[in-house]
Amino acid sequence: MSSFLFCEEEARRNKGNRETDIPIKGVLILVHCSYFLSPPTAAFTLDPDHKHPELIISQDHRRAQLQPALPPKTVTHSGTLMVVGKEGYASGKHYWELGVGDTLDWELGVLTQAARDKVKKEKFSGPLGEGCWALRSSREGFFTHQDGEKIEKKEVSYEKIGMFLDREHGTITFYNAEIMFLISSIPTQSNERLYPFLSFVKAGEDANQSPLEVIHRRIPVPLKAPKRKKTFPYFF
């Protein structure tokens, strides 16, 4: 799967471009990566200085886990149980994969530097406000952080989530990373540097959730379609 990429979003942008000759039928298009360029590997290192005090960060700064519940299984978790990445991005295209395991309640996305500084100042005690664009998962389905819009959840595994930040087009796009199935694409309306983050949601209902993990991987994403006179090769 690493040599291919489903990219409905890019296909939509190329609609009507006869030079690429890509059919647009509202379906996912599988395009071989030889026709695309790969962006620089995106870093996503969990920042122990920007995390909720009840989260444990692994030594390699790639995994976050809730502190074990105190006996007799007393749940003490409160506030916004999140950790922010060290690296922020003001331009370019960046892709990460995050392992969520069998955890049903989580939130992944990006936030502005101002929002990052605000949650740290408030010691992660309050909810995320303005300057945040994210996908939230719960037992009821997927929801966008901004307006709570519900997104259909297919009957497939969601143990790995792909997150594609495109500063050029101003979007953050989420995929089921195991089959590169598009979940949602959300506009990011900000000129500030954006920082990726991950968060546990409703931890009080399940204090023993699986950890959330950053999976570093280089995945080719479309930057510019080639000019070809012949029919652009594609697969369905």
What one-character-per-residue DSSP string does 120-167 give?
HHTTT-S---SSEEEEEEETTEEEETTT--EE---SS--SEEEEEEET
Of 12-16, 94-98, 172-176, the range with the lowest mean pLDDT is 12-16
- Start-to-end CA span in the chain (Å): 14
Six token digits for residue 60: 């390699």
Residue 206 banded pLDDT, cuts 50, 70, 90: low
Q: State CA 71 to chain mean position distance.
A: 34
- Amino acid of residue 47: D
Beta strands 194-200; 181-187: pairing state:
unpaired
- Residue 81's CB is within 10 A of a number of other CB atoms, namely 26
| pLDDT tens-digit readout, 46-92 | 999 999 999 999 999 999 998 876 554 544 456 789 999 999 999 99
- Is the pLDDT reported for residue 192 higher than 50? yes
Six token digits for residue 72: 């007799």
Mean pLDDT (the chain) is 75
- Sequence-distant (≥ 6) Cβ neighbours of residue 128 within 8 angstroms: 80, 82, 111, 115, 119, 134, 145
Biggest alpha carbon distance in the chain? 70
Residue 8 banded pLDDT, cuts 50, 70, 90: very low
| pLDDT tens-digit readout, 110-164 | 999 999 999 998 888 877 878 999 999 988 889 988 777 888 888 888 999 999 9
Six token digits for residue 84: 């922010």
- Residue 195's CB is within 10 A of a number of other CB atoms, namely 21
The pLDDT, as a whole number, for residue 202 is: 64
- Is the pLDDT reported for residue 12 higher than 50? no
pTM: 0.73
What integer is the mean pLDDT of 11-32?
Answer: 38
